[in-house]
Every structure is written in structure tokens, then in C-alpha cells.
Amino acid sequence: MSIRNAEEQPFLAEAPSSLKFDLASGELRGVWPLRDPSGSRLELTVVSVLGQTLDQFALITYQLRSVDYRGLLTVSNHLTMPVFGAATDDPRQPRPIHTLQVSATQKDAVSETMRIKAPTSGQQITLKLACQDGLDRVQPIVPEQVLTRAVIASVSRINRQASRKRVTPDALQADAKQFWTDFWAKADVQIEGAPALNRALHFNLFQLVSSAGRGGLTNVAAKGVSGVGYEGHYFWDTEMYMLPFYTYATPDIAKALLTYRYHVLPQAKKQARIVGVKDGALFSWRTINGEEASAYFPASTAQFHIDADIAYAVDRYVQVTGDETFLHACGLEIIAETAKFWLHFGAWSPVDGKQRFCFFDVTGPDEYSAMVNNNYYTNRMAKHNLSLAVDWGRRFPEEAQQFGLDDATLTAMAKAAAAVELPFDAQLGINAQDDEAFKKPIWPFADTPKDKYPLLLHYHPLTLYRYQVNKQADTLLADYLFDDVPAVS
């Protein structure tokens, strides 16, 4: 939005005097003082709300009050491409985007559209801005007078035209209010005596719901809707850290996110062949369109556990919701294809005089320990994935055979699952993160300056890989997920 005085000089915003977010209605309200070069003042109030069932639309209401300005005022709303961040090696931070193709905008008196395309994937969306008062409005204003304008923004589904549906500001506000009222009625959590913690918890629940794709063709970007770090790619975080919440609180969203994985199964099968596995599917570690987008395979593609993470989430969703319709339409095939990957990726190898089913050169959740043998988390998840295929395959044998789960394959999977190697250190009495984890020296924490954290931004990966140092929970995550396996494998 741009605001100009009678001389076409811009009013510039100062620091906001008020910012309020109503979690009950999804309404964000901010107030900004504005001043032009001559010192004349306006006050701008912006109230924004996102449609929920009307999830392609957003309402932005602008209220301009003149503090002491008198004269003509030009108010304009147009679509522009923002510039994100500066060049950086930190993948968590936003970086400039140079690859998107923006088509010429189409304008009329009350609306404007813009098409944005990612040339590599071929995916595109259409943005639209509409205001019944006109996108450019010139009007006189006097002190204490208030001008109000409601602008409706919309975004198309991927590779679709902008919606032709007509929505009103009142309808969008009512839609958001009803959605959030229903959500909090079934998903609210209160911690007595901790108002600050309550606010933080509620804000995070709101962000989780707001960040999730809902059409079955998108997932959850790594930074949600708060930024473009990691270029908006999807990771295993969805299935292992967010899907449990969605499954219990918003099962429709959980189903949509898992349906996205089903839609990229063809790319996952292709990825399995790329890494030399003759059957099954390997989901890409970092992706939007299903193809691997990471350039550093030791800490990305080698995290094969994403297959088992997705299968785990599918099973959890079905067990919690009882949605066997989804299981037959999408879930069983996902479980079957990921299990076939493990069966053909793993290898029988002697361990302490016994033949064990092992997984070599993998990376677990701890990305500071890459390309290791028998990562405990990976192996435990693979064991579960294989067992899921056996359980569901034997429950629905005719359907399972369509996905390659014949009786011989199920028998082989059951045998492999029972013999998966789970590293254990007898001297320490705990599960080992991998075959070599406890043989490495411990990272010199006492000699590491505080400004050298996170370590990945200051030390070469080949340095980190030589030490006992964890980026994130690995073996402990497996222990959290499963309590049915004794410490000694």
C-alpha cells in the first residue's frame, strides 16, 4: 500500500504504536503513525484476517485517520514482489530469490492479477487483489476524518487459475471466526498459573494450523508462514514433529498432508532407483515437487529414515482416526513402497556371530554424524516400517498384492524386521547411536567459544563427523517413540 499527499509525496510509516493479535478470531490489528516530508500526520490502522474454509482468500481492511493533514490523499494497493534477505551461507535464513518468473500483471479499475512461476518445477500460482473502491483512490481528507477501504487478496491452487468465487469482507470475517472458535473448542490447552507460557503455547498452536497445506498438493514449509528460510521446502519435520498434533486436533489437515506424500510417490520411486535400490520408494529429504532439492547428500538424501517416518505417520493417523478409506486409497501403498525400499536397501551381515539385517552408510536425525553404519534411529524406524507392511499386508492380502506385497515378500519382510540390528553398548548399558559412535573422541566443548554455535556454521562437516557431538536428538527420539524393545537387541 502506498499513500501520497497532494504533491505526490509519500507518507512514510514510523514504528507501530500498537500491534494486537486475536487468536480467537484470527484477526491481526496494527496501528502505525504516518508522516509526509512536510510533517503532516496520518494514523493507519490495518486489520487482516485469513479465510479458513475460504482458504484461498484474505481480507485486509485499511483505516486512515487524518491527525492534522488537510488536502487530497492518493491511496494505492498493487501487487509487488518482495525482496527477501541477503546472500548468506546459513540455510535457515532467507536468501534472495532470483529464479521466480513473474508474468505481466493484468489490471482493471478494481482488481489486479499476477502469475508467479517456478521454471524448474513448472509449478505456478496466480495472485489477485481486488477492491470495490478501486485499487487507486484519490479523495480529500480533513483532520479527524477516517477513510476505510477493504481489500481482498486471493491465491490460486497450484497450476490453477485464480478463483472466480465472489466473497465479501463480512463472509471472510465470519469464516475465520467460526473456524477458530471450533478449533479452540476442541484443541485448547491451558496451563494454570503461567499466562506467558499459555500465550506462547496458543500462538504456536495457531501457527501450526495456519502453516499447513490443506489441498493434498502442499505440505508444511520449513519456516511455516513466518519466513522463506530453506526456500520453503518440506522435510521430515512434518511427519515426526507436527503430524501427531494434526492427527489428534485437526485430522482433516493431517490427511491432506499425508495425501501430499501419496501424490509424490512417483518421484519417490524414481529417487529409490537413483540411489541404486531396485524396488520401493525413497521420499526426498528436501523437496516441494517430490524431487530431491538438497545439494549435500551426506546430511540430506542419506537420511533414509524419512521413509519410515512417513509410514509411521500414516499408521498413526489411521490408528487414531479409524480412517481406513484413506488407508486403502493412499496409506497402504505408501507403507508398502517404503517397506520394499528397506527390504532391498538393507543387507544381511554377521554381528557377534549372528546374521543381522543391517543398514550401511546412512545418516540419522543427528546430522553431525553422517554416513554411519546401523544408525539406531534409522534401524528402529525401518524395523517398524517393515512390520507395518507385514501387519497391514496380511490384514488386506488381496489389496497388498497389488503393491507387491505377496506372501513371499511379507515373509521376507517379517524375517528382516525381526533381525534388524539395534546397536547396544554393553559396557555403558545403553543403546549406541551407531556402530562407531562411542569410539570417537568427545567434542571439546570447554574450548569452543559461544559465538561458534551453531557448530555447522563454523566448522567443516568433516570436522564434526569425527567427534561425539549431536546436532539433535537421535537415539533418544527412537526411545521416545517406542517402548516395546528392550535395551539389549
CATH of the domain at 44: 2.70.98.40
Q: 468 and 359 share a domain? A: yes
Rounded Cα distance between 75 and 110, Å, is 13
Per the DSSP assignment, residues forming a β-bridge with 22 are: 27
Quote the pLDDT of residue 474.
Answer: 95
Structural domain contains residue 184: no
Last-in-domain residue among 162, 183, 203: 162
What CATH number is given to the structural domain containing 291?
Answer: 1.50.10.10
Last-in-domain residue among 143, 162, 181: 162
Q: What is the 3-state secondary structure (H, E, C) of the chain?
A: CEEECCCCCECEECCCCEEEEECCCCEEEEEEEEECCCCCEEEEEEEEEECCCCCCEEEEEEEEEECCCCEEEEEECCCCCCCCCCCCCCCCCCCCCCCCEECCCEECCCEEEEEEECCCCCCEEEEEEECCCCCEEEEEECCCCEEEEEEEEEECCCCCCCCCCCCCHHHHHHHHHHHHHHHHHHHCCCCCCCHHHHHHHHHHHHHHHHHCCCCCCCCCCCCCCCCCHHHHCECCHHHHHHHHHHHHHCHHHHHHHHHHHHHCHHHHHHHHHHCCCCCCCCCCCCECCCCCCCCCHHHCCCCCHHHHHHHHHHHHHHHHHCCHHHHHHHHHHHHHHHHHHHHHHCEEEEECCEEEEECCCECCCCCCCCCECCCHHHHHHHHHHHHHHHHHHHHCHHHHHHCCCCHHHHHHHHHHHHCECCCEECCCCEECCCCCHHHCCECCHHHCCHHHCCHHHCCCHHHHCCCECCCCCCHHHHHHHCCCCCCCC
Q: 155 and 229 share a domain? A: no
C-alpha cell at 480: 521416545
Q: Residue 450 burial (CB < 10 Å; 0-12/13-18/19+)?
A: exposed
Rounded Cα distance between 44 and 64, Å, is 5
Q: 70 and 208 share a domain? A: no
Q: 133 and 43 share a domain? A: yes
Rounded Cα distance between 1 and 67, Å, is 19
The domain tally of the chain equals 2
Structural domain containing residue 62: 2-162
Cβ atoms of 103 and 161 within 8 Å: the answer is: no
Q: 128 and 201 share a domain? A: no
- This prediction has a pTM of 0.89
Structural domain contains residue 467: yes
Structural domain contains residue 187: no
Q: 109 and 207 share a domain? A: no
Quote the pLDDT of residue 163.
Answer: 80
Greatest extent of the chain over all pairs of C-alpha atoms, in Å:
90
For 368, left (φ over 0), alpha (ψ -120 to 50), or beta? alpha
Q: 115 and 61 share a domain? A: yes
Contact partners, residue 428, CB within 8 Å, separation at least 6: 438
Q: How far is CA 197 from the centre of its chain?
A: 24
Structural domain contains residue 471: yes
Looking at the annotation, which residues are catalytic? Answer: 367
Cβ atoms of 65 and 42 within 8 Å: the answer is: yes
Q: 207 and 319 share a domain? A: yes
Cβ atoms of 19 and 199 within 8 Å: the answer is: no
Quote the pLDDT of residue 159.
Answer: 86
Q: 127 and 230 share a domain? A: no
Per the DSSP assignment, residues forming a β-bridge with 112 are: 107, 129
Q: 143 and 244 share a domain? A: no
Quote the pLDDT of residue 121.
Answer: 76
Cβ atoms of 11 and 42 within 8 Å: the answer is: yes
The end-to-end CA distance of the chain, in Å, is 63
Structural domain contains residue 488: no
Closest CA to 281 of 336, 348, 233: 336
Q: 126 and 219 share a domain? A: no
* pLDDT tens track, the chain, 489 positions: 999 999 999 999 999 999 999 999 999 999 999 999 999 999 999 999 999 999 899 999 999 999 999 999 999 999 987 665 666 767 666 666 677 888 867 788 899 999 999 887 788 899 999 999 899 999 999 999 999 999 999 999 888 887 888 899 999 999 999 999 999 999 999 999 999 999 999 999 999 999 999 889 999 999 888 777 888 899 999 999 999 999 999 999 999 999 999 999 999 999 999 999 999 999 999 999 999 999 899 999 999 999 999 999 999 999 999 999 999 999 999 999 999 999 999 999 999 999 999 999 999 999 999 999 999 999 999 999 999 999 999 999 999 999 999 999 999 999 999 999 999 999 999 999 999 999 999 999 999 999 999 999 999 999 999 999 999 999 999 999 998 755 554
Cβ atoms of 375 and 474 within 8 Å: the answer is: yes
Per the DSSP assignment, residues forming a β-bridge with 14 are: none
Rounded Cα distance between 14 and 473, Å, is 43
Structural domain contains residue 174: no
Phi, psi of 60 (to 5 degrees): -125, 115
Lookup result for grid cell 556454521: 457
Rounded Cα distance between 122 and 130, Å, is 26
